[in-house]
Structure 1
């Protein structure tokens, strides 16, 4: 198989990161095309939906982060073969995507409106989503979201919790996951200690 190329912004996190991690963990060769924000306006029109990430192979492209996660997850051995377990994997990824989209939709709002909306999201939908993700994790054994092992769902949740605790989201308390969903924080820390994940971020010289 020819080498895959993942096109995403030059950041260590957000929608493209779970796919990066999956390919790193699974030993799937890929080109990591990190788009500078200054270059994005010139490249946007070439993407299927005017957004990133995009996965490229043999001149073809696929977009939408969870579709990419499923594809690379299968290549990396990080997506369930069993249909029910695959559905549980998708459930966790879609739950993250749904609430993350609501938070990211506030990015370009005027300062006062952004503050009000993010505080409202943090107190309501975001806290609710974290609590329900935690309940699903516990219901499936407390270690992983599907298949009794590490899957792309765990990577997606790991990246989201990292982002919430990073302080990069103004007006969203960095301790929200710790207060609302401590089991998700334990899950985050467990994924962070995976040898391949640990080595990847050490090489990137960034904190996960």
Structure 2
């Protein structure tokens, strides 16, 4: 069996969390290397592109969170085999990544500049992308692809949870429920999925 090490921030969220979840779902043992934000400057020096998450497989380090998520998602039967359903899954993954990058662009700003950037983010990209996601979900049903939970749902769930956390300055915790109520209800359903509850039960006390 391959020796696997996932390197990511010590948070239950972000780009690394779906990878951890699918590895758990697939029953694949892995070393969960977590580090604080203050340690990132040193950790990034050890990565191919100065970013995380990375996954080390048998001594070789791989990067790009979405590629890794798809790779392990297949092992966990959380990625569609049908080409069109895979397209739907990939579309929502890439859309989530787009929105994440638009939010991350405001990181490093402070004071009025941060407030203005975040208000523009809510009025523009956030409203646009959440509306698009809500329409996509309505067209498919309870999940974004394949009629069941996929890595696309895990990706969107983590993003919605982050946006609703109240931890992002000038991003109200009720932003998702106000802009796209159906997505807030969707996130509550996904949180109760056995794949997620099993993973977080395994994390309890750690």
Whether the aligned pair in 2 keeps the contact of 1:106 and 1:114 (CA below 8 Å) is: yes
Cα-to-partner distance string for 1:123-154 (whole Å, 9 max, x where unaligned): 111111011011011111x2111111111000
For normalisation by structure 2, the TM-score amounts to 0.94
Q: Distance in 2 between matches of 1:120 and 1:23?
A: 37
Is 2:155 aligned against 1:156? yes
Alignment RMSD (CA, Å): 1.5
**What is the CA distance between 1:54 and its match in structure 2?**
0.5
Aligned to 1:165: 164
Q: Distance in 2 between matches of 1:182 and 1:130?
A: 10
Whether the aligned pair in 2 keeps the contact of 1:158 and 1:188 (CA below 8 Å) is: yes
Aligned to 2:174: 175
**Structure 2 residue matching 1:15: 3-state secondary structure:** coil
**What is the CA distance between 1:203 and its match in structure 2?**
4.7
**What is the CA distance between 1:55 and its match in structure 2?**
1.1
Cα-to-partner distance string for 1:40-95 (whole Å, 9 max, x where unaligned): 21121211111111011011122111111101101111111111111111100110
Cα-to-partner distance string for 1:81-132 (whole Å, 9 max, x where unaligned): 1111111111001101101111012111122211100111011111110110
For normalisation by structure 1, the TM-score amounts to 0.93
Mind listing any 5+ residue stretches in structure 2 that lack a counterpart?
none
Mind listing any 5+ residue stretches in structure 1 that lack a counterpart?
none
Q: Distance in 1 between matches of 2:4 and 2:189?
A: 28
Q: Distance in 2 between matches of 1:97 and 1:50?
A: 18
Q: Structure 1 stretches (4+) deviating beyond 6 angstroms? A: none
Give aligned pairs, total.
205
Aligned to 2:68: 68
Alpha-carbon distance change, 114 to 205 in structure 1, aligned in 2, over 3 angstroms: farther
